[in-house]
């Protein structure tokens, strides 16, 4: 059976390089947005926090003439959104602001793409840009990917300006100037000259011939650019060229849908179970169909399709279409009419590391916050929520901006809470060797090579009680009241054992062996433009962080730094690096857990002991009538 061709294209870029502005141009071209505000409306940034920050914080989908486009966030906190969108994408558009250049984060973004189905859109060439700048941008982008992917002759390079909805490609120039001629002169330099010539005429207001030739009624700068070299038309032509060679046939007896992410709301009422974006991988989906999810029978009651930036109910969906389905699914569900069809889950791009605690002002509202977290755990990539023994919610996500987005969603649901830092920065461990003998028993405490503690009781008398007591002491901690790791406790119990003082003897034994704290650490990979390298090294030095490896990419003028960063310094370090590089550093983290270091951590011991009330601070009141020592 044959199907109409549908394609999905993911739009990728560093923050503020023009993705959402570019999407406005597509919507205007499709008739879904007033052309006069296209490039300025940021129509898909419909959350209050998106408008306030001026950044995209979620994936959004639009549909124009058989083409789906997914607008992805540019901020590093939301990188997993771009990764999830890439899992169902046929094509990719990489936008580079030529004024800012290729950001180090591009090293990560290009891992998501299919290079042979990608377009490089060089944005903002309406500024005073030299030809050499364009050449270098193409060469650097190819260098980041590792092979010559982009070239003018391959028709996968577009020069233009998203704010003016204008863009040209090899095909644009060919059809305009070389339709019935030999097009060997159609080079990148020729395209650049054509665009520059148009820009010069607009700047000098030499536009009378353009108005007549292209029937331009309202000769604004944007209207002239858009009419003569239309960016959306250029992009869609390339996307459709990509799909020409695709096989159209499918097996209509086999239906398969895959979902890379869920959407909480998009122009329809919020629901306790979010809508999942599905791509029809094979077959045809119809309202009323019976499909299977994890061997459970699911009846398709409602199918939501895309029209421009809006949605509407539809009765069926063909192969290649994107649809929204509501259901009680887990993350990344697969639906099929074959009960045993089991697709692999989508891979995870990177680990979340940002941690905070949310504490309810009224604990009786816990059911409400947990119902909100249930939805957010499906719609927010990388979010993990765990309620601890104190009734606090420990939140792990990709970064501070994503955490603030989550908090904003909680406030919108009228959940009252406050936020605290998550300070599980250290663990305790036995440093050397200690032994204490009691009445009928002997306790030995020493280092253990493995992270998990080892408790051994020689003699069967009281072994369960003793193991439980030792495990409790190791869990509660002694020096800073944090759990022990890498510790071995051996107890020899004799027939005449009297355990009245066992607990105090155990504590004394551990103290005699010496207690030290070990930090939770990450391996940090920092990609930064060479011009910012001194700032980065100064910040690392400020926090006594040693550089383990340093590599220089002379082609792109980037520096790669590998170092180990303790959690207690992580957020300060990353924040300072991002501020000093103006957001042009890209940092990835690999969780290493609790690792012993040679750093002097005594200041943290004193600080934590004071915060937890483990030690008291004495001070003297100086007034004679009140002369006495008080404890604080």
Could you give the 3-state DSSP secondary structure of residue 281? strand
What distance in Å separates the CA atoms of residue 208 and residue 201, rounded to the nearest whole number?
A: 10
- CA dist 201 and 221 (Å) reads 10
Structure tokens at 366: 């816990």
If one compares 574 and 47, the residue with the highest pLDDT of the two is: 574
Model pLDDT, residue 246: 65
What confidence tier does 352 reach under pLDDT thresholds 50, 70, 90?
A: confident
pLDDT at 412: 85
Residue 8 has phi, psi (to 5 degrees) of -120, 130
Tens of pLDDT along 486-539? 999 999 998 888 899 999 999 999 999 999 999 999 999 999 988 899 999 999
CB-CB contact of 235 with 159 (8 Å): no
Give the pLDDT of residue 261: 82
Task: Walk across the sheet containing 322-326 and list its strands.
Answer: 296-299, 290-293, 334-336, 256-263, 275-282, 322-326, 303-307, 310-314
Model confidence over 289-302: pLDDT tens digits? 999 998 889 999 99
Tell me which of 624 and 413 has the higher pLDDT.
Answer: 413
Of the listed ranges 63-77, 149-163, 349-363, the one predicted with least confidence: 349-363
> For residue 54, what are the contacts with CB-CB under 8 A and spacing of at least 6?
16, 42, 45
* CA dihedral angle for residue 270, residue 271, residue 276, residue 280, rounded to 10 degrees: -90
If pLDDT is split at 50, 70 and 90, which confidence band does 627 have?
Answer: very low
Measuring CA to CA, which residue among 211, 208, 240 is closest to residue 228? 211
pLDDT of residue 390: 83
Residue 626 scores a pLDDT above 60: no
Pairwise pLDDT comparison (341 vs 615), residue with the higher score: 615
Contact at 8 Å (CB) between 570 and 563?
Answer: no
Residue 267: per-residue pLDDT: 38
| Residue entry with tokens 């590093």 | 76
8 A C-beta contact, residue 231 and residue 168: no
Cβ atoms < 10 Å from Cβ of 101:
18
Least confident of 77-86, 401-410, 615-624: 615-624
Nearest CA to 158 out of 169, 148, 166 is that of 169
Say if residue 268's pLDDT is above 50.
no
Gap between the Cα atoms of 456 and 474, Å rounded:
14
Q: Is residue 434 within 8 Å of 446, Cβ to Cβ? A: yes
Strand 118-123 and strand 91-97: pairing?
parallel
The conformation of residue 250, written as its DSSP 8-state character, comes to -
Give the highest mean pLDDT range of 134-138, 341-345, 552-556: 134-138
Question: What is the rounded distance in angstroms from the CA atom of residue 124 to the CA atom of residue 17?
Answer: 9
pLDDT of 248 above 60: no
Residue 181 predicted with pLDDT over 80: no
Three-state DSSP class for 377? helix
> What is d(CA 88, CA 319) in angstroms, rounded to the nearest whole number?
12
What CA–CA distance (Å, rounded) separates 64 from 59?
17
Q: What is the mean pLDDT of residues 259-277?
A: 67
DSSP structure string for 421-485:
E----EEEEE-SEEEEEETTEEEEEEE-SSSS-EEEEESSTTHHHHHHHHHHHHHH-SSSS--B-
Question: Would you place residue 632 in the very low, low, confident or very high pLDDT band (cuts 50, 70, 90)?
Answer: very low
Tell me how far apart the alpha carbons of residues 541 and 546 are, in angstroms, rounded to a whole number.
7
Q: Is the pLDDT of residue 256 over 70?
A: yes
**Burial class for 544, CB neighbours closer than 10 Å (0-12, 13-18, 19+):** exposed
Provide the pLDDT for residue 165: 94
Across the range 204-229, mean pLDDT stands at: 92
Higher-pLDDT residue of 353 and 297 is 297
Q: Is the pLDDT of residue 269 over 60?
A: no
Q: For position 228, what pLDDT does the model report?
A: 94
Length of the chain equals 632
| Selection from 207, 220, 210 nearest residue 34 by Cα | 220
Summarize the chain as % helix, strand, coil (round to 5). 30, 30, 40
Are 184 and 174 in contact by the 8 Å Cβ rule? The answer is no
| Of 528, 526, 522, nearest in space to 597 by CA | 522
418 beta partners: 359
CB 12 within 8 A of CB 95: yes
Q: Which residues are 358's β-sheet partners?
A: 393, 419
Give the pLDDT of residue 399.
Answer: 83
Nearest to 268, CA basis, from 213, 217, 207, 310: 310
Indicate the range of 80-84, 244-248, 576-580 predicted with least confidence. Answer: 244-248
DSSP 40-63: TS-TT--SHHHHHHTS--S-EEEE
Residue 95 contacts by C-beta under 8 Å, 6 or more apart in sequence? 11, 12, 13, 17, 18, 19, 22, 121, 123, 162
Per-residue pLDDT at 583: 73
Please tell me the predicted confidence (pLDDT) of residue 53: 62
What is the per-residue pLDDT across 380-437, written as a single tens digit (0 to 9) for each? 888 999 998 788 999 998 888 899 999 988 988 888 999 988 777 899 999 999 999 9
Weakest-pLDDT range from 55-59, 100-104, 155-159: 55-59
Mean pLDDT of the chain: 86
Query: Domains in the chain, please, with CATH?
Result: 7-166+231-243 (3.40.50.300), 256-336 (2.40.30.10), 354-422 (3.30.70.870), 427-517 (3.30.230.10), 518-594 (3.30.70.240)
Separation CA 58–CA 71 (nearest Å) = 8
Please give the pLDDT value at position 619. 47
- The percent of residues in the chain predicted with pLDDT above 70, rounded, is 87
Q: Is the pLDDT of residue 56 over 70?
A: no
Token code pair at residue 317 = 């969906």
pLDDT-derived band of residue 23, with 50, 70 and 90 as boundaries? very high
Q: Which band of pLDDT confidence, cut at 50, 70 and 90, is reported for residue 51?
A: low
Residue of 561, 470, 483, 488 lying closest to 520 (CA atoms): 483
Nearest in space to 73 (alpha carbons), one of 511, 380, 374: 380
pLDDT at 114 over 80: yes
């Amino acid at each position: 059976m044959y199907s109409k061709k549908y394609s999905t294209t993911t739009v990728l870029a560093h923050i503020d390089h023009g993705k959402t502005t570019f999407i406005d141009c597509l919507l205007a071209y499709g008739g879904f947005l007033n052309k006069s505000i296209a490039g300025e409306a940021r129509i898909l940034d419909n959350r209050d926090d998106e408008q306030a920050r001026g950044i995209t914080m979620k994936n959004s989908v639009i549909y124009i003439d058989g083409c789906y486009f997914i607008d992805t966030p540019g901020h590093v906190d939301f990188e997993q959104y771009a990764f999830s969108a890439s899992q169902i994408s046929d094509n990719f558009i990489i936008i580079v602001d030529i004024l800012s250049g290729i950001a180090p984060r591009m090293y990560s973004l290009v891992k998501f793409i299919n290079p042979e189905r990608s377009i490089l859109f060089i944005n903002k060439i309406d500024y005073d840009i030299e030809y050499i700048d364009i050449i270098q941008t193409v060469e650097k982008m190819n260098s980041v990917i590792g092979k010559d992917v982009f070239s003018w002759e391959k028709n996968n390079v577009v020069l233009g300006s998203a704010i003016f909805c204008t863009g040209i490609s090899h095909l644009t120039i060919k059809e305009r100037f070389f339709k019935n001629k030999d097009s060997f002169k159609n080079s990148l330099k020729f395209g650049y000259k054509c665009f520059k010539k148009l820009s010069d005429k607009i700047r000098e207001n030499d536009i009378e011939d353009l108005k007549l030739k292209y029937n331009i009624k309202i000769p604004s700068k944007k209207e002239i650019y858009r009419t003569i070299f239309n960016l959306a038309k250029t992009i869609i032509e390339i996307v459709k060229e990509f799909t020409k060679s695709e096989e159209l046939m499918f097996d209509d007896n086999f239906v398969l849908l895959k979902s890379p992410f869920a959407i909480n709301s998009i122009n329809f009422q919020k629901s306790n179970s979010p809508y999942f974006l599905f791509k029809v991988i094979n077959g045809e989906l119809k309202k009323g169909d019976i499909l299977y999810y994890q061997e459970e029978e699911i009846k398709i009651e409602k199918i939501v399709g895309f029209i421009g930036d809006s949605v509407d109910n539809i009765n069926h969906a063909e192969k290649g279409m994107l649809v929204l389905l509501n259901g009680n699914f887990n993350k990344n569900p697969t639906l099929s009419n074959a009960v045993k069809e089991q697709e692999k889950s989508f891979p995870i791009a990177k680990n979340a590391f940002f941690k905070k605690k949310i504490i309810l002002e009224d604990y009786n509202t816990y059911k409400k916050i947990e119902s909100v977290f249930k939805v957010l755990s499906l719609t927010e990539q990388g979010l993990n929520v765990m309620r601890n023994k104190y009734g606090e919610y420990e939140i792990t996500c990709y970064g501070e901006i994503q955490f603030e987005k989550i908090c904003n969603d909680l406030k919108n649901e009228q959940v009252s809470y406050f936020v605290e830092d998550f300070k599980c920065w250290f663990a305790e461990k036995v440093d050397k060797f200690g032994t204490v003998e009691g009445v009928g028993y002997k306790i030995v405490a020493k280092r253990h090579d493995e992270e998990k503690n080892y408790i051994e009781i020689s003699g069967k008398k009281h072994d369960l009680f003793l193991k439980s007591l030792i495990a409790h002491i190791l869990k509660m901690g002694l020096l800073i009241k944090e759990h022990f790791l890498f510790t071995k406790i051996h107890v020899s119990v004799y027939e005449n054992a009297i355990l009245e003082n066992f607990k105090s003897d155990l504590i004394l034994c551990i103290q005699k062996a010496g207690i030290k704290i070990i930090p939770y650490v990450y391996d940090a990979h920092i990609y930064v433009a060479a011009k910012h390298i001194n700032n980065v090294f100064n910040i690392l030095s400020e926090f006594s962080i040693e550089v383990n490896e340093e590599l220089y990419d002379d082609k792109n003028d980037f520096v790669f730094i590998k170092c180990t960063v303790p959690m207690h310094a992580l957020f300060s370090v990353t924040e300072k690096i991002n501020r000093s590089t103006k957001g042009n550093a890209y940092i990835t983290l690999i969780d290493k857990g609790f690792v012993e270091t040679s750093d002097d951590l005594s200041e943290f011991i004193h600080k934590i002991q004071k915060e937890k009330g483990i030690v008291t601070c004495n001070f003297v009141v100086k007034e004679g009538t009140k002369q006495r020592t008080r404890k604080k």
